[in-house]
Amino acid sequence: MEQHDIKLTKKEFALLNKENRLRNNVSTRDRAIEITKIFLKKKACITIHAKPKAVGADLSYTLKNDVVNIEVKGTNSEDIAWGKLKVSGNASCEGINDNWPVYRVTRVFEQTPSIFILKHGVDFTLKSEPRWRFIRCSQ
């Protein structure tokens, strides 16, 4: 898995705090998506699609004419928090099973979040429950 430690600028952090003040599941998700957008915008030659065409994807981006759909999962935890990592929708589950990367954003309410880019079958599998639970693969 890839880990990217991010230092949000004062302006980026202030904007996140203005738009997503509450500390609940919705704001955690929204902040994780916004942090991921900030991260992706800093990469060269990437076009971000905030409304992906793929059903279930949270974001997508185009790199060298290839569209990459991604699932974004946020947490206020310091680490990945595997026990809290779930996916609810069938479309998201199918996309992840079809090799969409999962961007796990930790410390979403801090100025120094991290993004872990997780790959199905390498870093985790999905266990079917009422929602699908992430199970860490052996290292």
Cα dihedral 44, 49, 53, 56, rounded to 10, equals 100
Is the per-residue pLDDT at 25 higher than 60?
Answer: no
In total, how many domains does the chain have? Answer: 1
* pLDDT per residue as tens digits for the range 39-81: 999 887 788 887 888 888 999 999 888 899 999 999 999 999 9
Does the pLDDT at position 89 exceed 60? yes
Would you state the pLDDT for residue 48?
87
Question: pTM (2 decimals)?
Answer: 0.88
Beta bridge pairs of residue 105: 74, 115
Q: Which domain holds residue 57?
A: 2-136
Cβ neighbours, 10 Å, residue 128: 8
- Tens digit of pLDDT for each residue in 100-117? 999 999 999 999 999 999
